[in-house]
Structure 1
């Protein structure tokens, strides 16, 4: 059966933009499963529920888990694979004679679960994890710029990592939001009455949700948003 595996970031992005409700109709259209790992559940639900902050957001995610929209998977084989990938990924790049920790266990559990399930894609908003899967060579440049120092590469480890991650595809929350827009799931915000009050309402709606995702944590550039806006313009 088809599946997507979600990292913490995209679910936070959707929740903080009042768009978590989109997952249920998207899951039905997808005709597959939306998975998270036990570690992601801890970050999204268990930890926030033990504090005062983000407790309501955690309850929203919990509701989607209880209804089966999001399924939590806890398999020892996935954790073992995640630790293997974690050690490999965090020994690919060095600065000042030390390995650079570029990813955490939660992110690698998401990757490991997707490999284990043969999922269609992982849903990740964080830039480093996306680079790691799609174009790991860019991490050297990205981390060098971020740390303001020279970063070296362990090419043997990087080659081994690329080989293991090769089957994966990555999508972000903005791709899910754009798909929801294309499917008409956001049309409840563009009724005839609202259209009378604001010209170009659909365009404004799309721009608002894309920028909302960017400002709440999705790694997308303003140029990418402009490209999506251009592609989604009605054909004349």
Structure 2
């Protein structure tokens, strides 16, 4: 039975979302995945439809989204649907929605030097074999500095600073470039590479995304029949119990 994926693109045109969505569609179709492509956030309005998918690929930068739509996505991923994406299309999508940031594992805060910075992507040896066979490589693009969930498993990094700026006098840091995490039963995959279409079509970047898409989409079958975890009481039991996303404190 074919796996099913939904790609939703939009937001800031500078990230060439339509072109990147088309590349992602081609990658998935090569892997015999049935793909639906949408240019509206209303594609997230039907929670049952989302739960019927194997994979959600957001590619929407600097937008605003209704809380109920994020809730729908979150619940689908918690039930086992994978979510995977790149660059600002996934981790600079909705700056005012912390639920989205918690689910995806991080959020963009800067790209010192802007576009055209040459930097190294360093593949890490970890428990994951997702990037096996891919060697360290150079990219000329935006070098993303992100605020990152410490729970992620980091699969690739880049060293800061490369460009002089207010961050330069800090100790050098290895910033995550590619990571995975879990959200309920769902698999989450992210790569900060992919500013524009010609970066996504770099052989290494295309392979990273292909591997990430397939890994994220496989999770639903592996955890079929398991009960998805939701927010629960912690600590001394006096904390509020959450049954879904978007509740106020």
For normalisation by structure 1, the TM-score amounts to 0.30
Larger radius of gyration: 1
For normalisation by structure 2, the TM-score amounts to 0.29
Which structure: greater helix fraction?
A: 1
Which structure: greater strand fraction?
A: 2
